[in-house]
Amino acid sequence: MTQATRLTYILFHRLHVTPEGATPKWLSYWGIWHPLGSFNQIGVIDLITGITGVRGRVRRAAAVVITTGAVLASGALTTAPAQALTTPTIAAKGGFVMNNSTGKSLYTKAADTRRSTGSTTKIMTAKVVLSQPNLNLDTKVTIQKAYSDYIVSNNASSARLIVGDKVTVRQLLYGLMLPSGCDAAYALADKFGSGSTRGARVKSFLGKMNKQAKDLGLTNTHFDSFDGIGKGANYSTPRDLTKIASSAMKSANFRAIVKTKSYTAKTVTKTGSIRTMQPWTNTNTLLSSYSGAIGVKTGSGPEAKYCLVFAATRNGKTVIGTVLASTSATVRASDATKLLNYGFAK
């Protein structure tokens, strides 16, 4: 369809269909009558005069057509160029977004700069657990006093696990990823590491975390903690964390956990009774505020500031990304929202 024809169509749509109610038949007939031809004033006027109920508007419509034709003939009216997509500005010091299906990079900001990751570390913690051979998610783990003491001494986020309670691995994973429980992280590392002492088992588990990072080809990631409370060598990058999350999201169990807004665990007490825990609420507010959000994990800390690994699916397209070192919990969510919108628009 030529430029002249397109503009004629738009003008008549506004004059007759939207404000004054011409029939849909006119639209479809116009599309068939003149799909590719050049501008034709007489033909357009003849067509309109044949439409029932619009005779009183012919003069005004014809004037519009003739005027438009004159402008087109002079070359004064041209098609406006499409606006370029504006790259968003975020407060976070680092950011990365990619198409989860293709791995294509959609946005970068200091994407390969190593930074403290806070509790986004727990994505790898969960990934290691879920990759264990012959994993039984209903296996029970007894909560030790060491886990509780660790929470107190580090002023760490907690799933409020009770010493002596028996909690399933599945419940620990929810406690790890929703309220960001460092006690749950400790319990999982102690359970799935190898060794005769708790320290040895934790060290073994950290080895598994680093091996998985290496297996993914990540050269800017290292873990020295199971929960993000590092000892100077716990770091990653926006690009690497996004790749870790993308890999973790291949697990149906992981996907189910990280998209859950609230979860209530029922644990077994020392006496064998059932304890109904207070609900664990997901710290990822995008699950409620962003249409299509499917995960994955928040993080924060004195050095890490405010971090978020995020993902959403719309119309069959999944966009996944990371922001590190944002300025507040509210701003990190805003940063992620901007990047998701940008990712879907590209």
Reply yes or no on whether 180 is catalytic: yes
| C-alpha–C-alpha distance, residues 288 and 300, integer Å | 20
Q: Any residues with CB less than 8 A from the CB of 131 and at least 6 apart, and which? A: 212, 251
Q: Which residue in the list 122, 208, 243, 338 is annotated as catalytic?
A: 122
| Helix (H) or strand (E) run with residue 96 in it | strand 94-99
Locate the DSSP E strands across 197-328: 262-263, 266-268, 274-276, 280-281, 293-301, 305-314, 317-326
One-letter identity of residue 275: R
Torsion of CA 329, 231, 176, 153, to 10 degrees: -90
Residue 113 near residue 132, CB atoms below 8 Å? no
Q: Any residues with CB less than 8 A from the CB of 137 and at least 6 apart, and which? A: 168, 169, 170, 173, 253
C-alpha to C-alpha distances, 144 to 3, 71, 156, 191, 247, nearest whole angstrom: 74, 82, 16, 11, 31
Q: Which residue in the list 116, 119, 236, 334 is annotated as catalytic?
A: 119
DSSP state of 302: T
Other residues' Cβ atoms within 10 Å of the Cβ of residue 183: 29
Reply yes or no on whether 122 is catalytic: yes
Reply yes or no on whether 194 is catalytic: no
Locate the DSSP E strands across 149-287: 166-168, 262-263, 266-268, 274-276, 280-281
Q: Is 297 assigned to a binding site?
A: yes
Q: Which residue in the list 116, 157, 158, 180 is annotated as catalytic?
A: 180
Residue 152 near residue 177, CB atoms below 8 Å? no
Residues at the annotated binding site for substrate? 297
Residues at the annotated binding site? 297
Catalytic residues: 119, 122, 180
